[in-house]
Amino acid sequence: MDMPKPDDSVLGRKVRIVRRLQAALGDKGVIHDPVELRVYECDALTAYKCPPLCAVLPRSTEEVAAVMTVCFEESVPVVPRGAGTSLAGGSLPTADSVVLGVARMNEVLETDYDNRFIRVQAGRTNLSVTAAVEEHGFFYAPDPSSQLACAISGNIAMNSGGAHCLKYGVTTNNLMGVKMVMANGEVVEIGGAHLDAGGLDLLGLICGSEGQLGIVTEATLRILASPEGAWPVLIGFDSNEVAGACVSDIIKSGILPVAIEFMDRPCIRATEAFAGAGYPDCEALLIIEVEGSEGEINDQLSRIIQIARRHDPVEIRESGSSEESARIWLGRKSAFGAMGQINDYMCLDGTIPVSALPYVLKRIGEMSTQYGLGVGNVFHAGDGNMHPLILFDANKPGDLEKCEAFGADILRLCVEVGGCLTGEHGVGVEKRDLMEVQYSASDLEAQMSVKDVFDPGWILNPAKVFPLALTASRRAEGGLE
């Protein structure tokens, strides 16, 4: 019997793939109109854009499995997308890929206050996880700045942190289990409502793997009892070095504030012009927040202030009311917006040992002069996670390239002082070619061999994380292109 011959022209293949996906999800689940597709051509790293072959919006694990089965059979690359808030290009498509968006997967599946967990579909936004449990007196701790918009699936992919992670840890410390669709469409469950796991820690491996190993469709998350109260104090200093030394002394004393945020003069200036929070005119300021019962809060604040006094602060601003507390946070929370008002900027994300802070800030200042581009520093100081904002003019030819070179130099500096290329944004497209600064060829080979196990066809989130040349040769070896 004669089988109809498959149409293997590029267009024929594209039409076939879209038809198969429509058969799996219905017409409304597949977006292939070029105008509608523009939403999916980039994420928050808007400097890079590429429209995909099509985008799909499944509603359940079963539908994700149906999509993966089609893509696996057709060897189509799949780009998983949470809310598209990645600053590292984590969900940037390639032209031959299907973007798999989880925006319609946002249900709460189970809440269990006795065992302190919530199970959600992975497309649910970070803040709405807390919203689902807060009237019972609970919250979900990791709180990236984008928490209003970003999805739990993206938090898991990038192992996201946030201001509160000094005390509560990052996503990997608050994730108990996942349901995941493998590259071939098979559905697996990893971890659950219990501590630890027998055998290899595959849950830890999945968290932070940037969509390279599978598509997470459901997550079991640890929820915590909301503290009785929280109270900030703002402390201004004459120099970055002294502010850094104060951070180090607070941590050494055994106090664990819930947040220690650091802003330098360029950031303070921009923020004041924009939000008028009334910050002191100084070189560096810390916003330190503590949590607990009234007794605990008073005890911790008084010890922090005592330590700060030893560092000759320009100003110690205690809060007397919740209005004053909100005012202390106002400038910090507007910092990124304020910098965006006065300039285009690129937000970096590197991690360093806390004691290297003064040296790294000094070197960034020197490089800023050398490149002729301004930098503002605003970051989570307690855990050494830096976010330098490099200012540039997108309309000035050559400025973006200079900015990229400057950014790469800062990240090389982070590795040089014993730190790491990334803290919470991931590698994505942005830092893939810097991975060789941190890792040897055999380190990268080990990481890529682990990906081979989960995704032998290298169809999951292509051209990310690993240096482009290595990914290309991996795909070529497998006869993939």
Instruction: Return the residues of window 434-453 that contact a copy of itself according to CB under 8 A.
Output: 435, 438-440, 442-444, 446-447, 449-453
Which is it for strands 229-237 and 315-318: parallel, antiparallel or unpaired?
Answer: antiparallel
Count interface residues toward a copy of itself (CB under 8 A): 87
- Amino acid identity of residue 136, one-letter, is H
> Is residue 431 a contact residue for a copy of itself (CB under 8 A)?
yes
DSSP state of 88: S
Sheet strands (E) in 94-196: 98-101, 108-112, 117-121, 138-139, 175-181, 187-191
Q: Which helix (H) or strand (E) holds 237?
A: strand 229-237
SS3 label, residue 284: strand
Instruction: CB nearer to a copy of itself: give 132 or 352.
Output: 352
Q: Using DSSP, how many helices (H) and how many strands (E) does the chain show?
A: 16, 20
Instruction: CB nearer to a copy of itself: give 129 or 203.
Output: 203
Which span sits near a copy of itself by CB under 8 A: 27-35, 67-75, 112-120, 334-342?
A: 112-120
Instruction: CB nearer to a copy of itself: give 233 or 386.
Output: 386
Q: Are 379 and 261 in contact (CB under 8 A)?
A: yes
Instruction: Return the residues of window 342-401 that contact a copy of itself according to CB under 8 A.
Output: 351-356, 383-385
Instruction: CB nearer to a copy of itself: give 338 or 460.
Output: 460
- CA distances from residue 256 to 33, 225, 325 in whole angstroms, order as listed: 52, 17, 19
> Is residue 230 a contact residue for a copy of itself (CB under 8 A)?
no
> Is residue 109 a contact residue for a copy of itself (CB under 8 A)?
no
| Exposure string over 261-282, b if 16+ CB within 10 A, otherwise e | bbbbbbbbbbbbebbebebbeb
Instruction: Return the residues of window 134-193 that contact a copy of itself according to CB under 8 A.
Output: 137, 159, 169-170, 172-173, 186, 188, 190, 192-193
Q: Are 173 and 140 in contact (CB under 8 A)?
A: no
Residue from 286, 389, 465, 470 binding a copy of itself (CB under 8 A): 465
Longest alpha-carbon distance in the chain: 89
Q: Report the nearest approach of a copy of itself to the CB of residue 248 (Å).
A: 6
Q: Report the nearest approach of a copy of itself to the CB of residue 80 (Å).
A: 16
Instruction: CB nearer to a copy of itself: give 330 or 450.
Output: 450
SS3 label, residue 193: coil
Instruction: CB nearer to a copy of itself: give 126 or 174.
Output: 174
Q: Report the nearest approach of a copy of itself to the CB of residue 324 (Å).
A: 23
Instruction: CB nearer to a copy of itself: give 315 or 443.
Output: 443
> Is residue 115 a contact residue for a copy of itself (CB under 8 A)?
yes
Which is it for strands 78-81 and 98-101: parallel, antiparallel or unpaired?
Answer: parallel
Which is it for strands 259-264 and 284-292: parallel, antiparallel or unpaired?
Answer: antiparallel
DSSP state of 125: B
Which span sits near a copy of itself by CB under 8 A: 51-59, 95-103, 218-226, 367-375?
A: 218-226
> Is residue 194 a contact residue for a copy of itself (CB under 8 A)?
yes
Instruction: CB nearer to a copy of itself: give 7 or 443.
Output: 443
Q: Are 214 and 183 in contact (CB under 8 A)?
A: yes
Instruction: Return the residues of window 195-214 that contact a copy of itself according to CB under 8 A.
Output: 195-202, 204-205, 207-209, 212-213
Instruction: CB nearer to a copy of itself: give 49 or 194.
Output: 194
SS3 label, residue 196: coil
Which span sits near a copy of itself by CB under 8 A: 29-37, 123-131, 307-315, 423-431?
A: 423-431
> Is residue 305 a contact residue for a copy of itself (CB under 8 A)?
no
> Is residue 232 a contact residue for a copy of itself (CB under 8 A)?
no
Q: How many other CB atoms sit within 10 Å of the CB of residue 253?
A: 13
> Is residue 224 a contact residue for a copy of itself (CB under 8 A)?
yes
Instruction: CB nearer to a copy of itself: give 297 or 373.
Output: 297
Residue from 38, 49, 252, 396 binding a copy of itself (CB under 8 A): 252
DSSP state of 226: P
CA 157 to CA 215: how far, in whole Å? Answer: 9
Instruction: Return the residues of window 253-282 that contact a copy of itself according to CB under 8 A.
Output: 253-254
CA 323 to CA 193: how far, in whole Å? Answer: 39
Instruction: CB nearer to a copy of itself: give 334 or 422.
Output: 422
Q: Are 415 and 421 in contact (CB under 8 A)?
A: yes
> Is residue 321 a contact residue for a copy of itself (CB under 8 A)?
no
> Is residue 23 a contact residue for a copy of itself (CB under 8 A)?
no
Q: Give 194's contacts (C-beta < 8 A, 6+ positions apart).
A: 176
Residue from 36, 112, 134, 315 binding a copy of itself (CB under 8 A): 112
Q: Are 450 and 205 in contact (CB under 8 A)?
A: yes
Q: Report the nearest approach of a copy of itself to the CB of residue 66 (Å).
A: 18
Instruction: CB nearer to a copy of itself: give 115 or 370.
Output: 115
Q: What Rg do the C-alpha atoms of the chain give, in angstroms?
A: 23
CA 304 to CA 295: how far, in whole Å? Answer: 14
